[in-house]
A and B are shown apart, each in its own frame.
Chain A
Amino acid sequence: MEKARLEKIKRIFYVPFIEINGLNDLLELGQNLFFHNKDNEMEQIGKVFNLVKRNFPSDLHNILLYLLGELFDNISQHSNYSNCLFILSYNNELGIGRIAIMDDGISIPKAFEKKGINFKDDDEAIEMALRGISTKIESGRGFGLSSTKKLVEKALKGMFVIISRKGIYSSGKKSSRQLNLFNGTAIYLEFRDSGKSGKNLNIYKYLE
């Protein structure tokens, strides 16, 4: 991805895009969380999950693994990406967790177009995906993004942002413009761990 475009995306998120706790994390962020052409996909996912286990409080592991599992499978199944970047951070002092995932695949609106699913504009395509409309027809599909949004916003009381092609969804905010950043999809999650959010959290009650 061009440097100038990446800078533009960083500004959209309004927060430091990369926050690291130490040199090891820096090395891992640089070396391990960049997926390219689906090489060693499973090995890379394993590394992402291990980073979560090492850097996030154990109370949050269950919910974060669920979120990452859904988001990653979504990318793997639908986006036809060449490059995918995961960025994770957790600030121990403030208890703020951030996860960003970007891919240069076909985007949500394009995936809908390819399946003949109609929508007004790219914002609406994203909203439809968040409501559970899927390009796959089997039962039990379409839960990935919708359940992720529900868990972030309701269980973690956090912020959920999706940018896909020219569309954007941001928790609680109405977009008034169509973006023109890149053709893939970027997802950003941010939440504050109050020390209570993950404790005894039964994620299944939010998912039924």
Chain B
Amino acid sequence: MKIIKLNKTFGNLIVTRNSVIDFFSSLADFSTEDFVLDFEGIEFISRSGAHEYLNQKSICGLNLREINLTSNVKAMFLLVAKQMKKAVSV
């Protein structure tokens, strides 16, 4: 299992979809499929960034576990997950 500190890649912000896509592509360089993604130091994630994260997570085929999410980051993930669910059910 590999622990990755996201603030080393993103700094304190996750904003663009492209940066999230690039990050998920970089996970293929590791020999493991199990990751713990540490959100410590990530102060903000945009709605688009959170949407792309969930999208990539669902298609990458890796086992990912997130830790140290702030309440703001958590709230954004919950919002996007709700929106995605709603869009699918419409």
A interface residue numbers (CB < 8 A to B): 41-42, 45-46, 49, 62, 65-66, 69-70, 72-74, 76-77, 138-141, 143-144, 147, 204, 207-208
Contact = CB atoms under 8 A, between A and B. Distances in A.
B17 A76 contact: yes
Nearest to A76: B16
B80 to A, nearest CB: 6
28 contacts: A41-B16, A42-B10, A42-B11, A46-B12, A49-B44, A69-B15, A69-B47, A69-B48, A70-B46, A73-B15, A73-B16, A73-B17, A76-B16, A76-B18, A77-B17, A139-B87, A139-B88, A140-B54, A140-B80, A140-B83, A140-B84, A140-B87, A143-B83, A147-B47, A204-B75, A207-B83, A208-B79, A208-B83
Nearest to B46: A69
A73 B26 CA distance: 20
Contact of A138 (B18, B44, B55, B75): B55
A204 B77 CA distance: 11
A138 B59 CA distance: 13
Nearest to A72: B15
Contacts of A77: 16-18, 48
Interface in B35-90: 44, 46-49, 51, 54-55, 72, 75, 79-80, 82-84, 87-88
Contacts of A65: 44, 46
Contacts, number: 73
B16 A66 contact: no
Contacts of A140: 51, 54-55, 80, 83-84, 87
A46 B75 CA distance: 21
Nearest to B82: A208
Contacts of B11: 42, 46
A42 B16 contact: yes
Nearest to B12: A46
Given A140-B80, A143-B83, A204-B79, A69 B55 contact: no
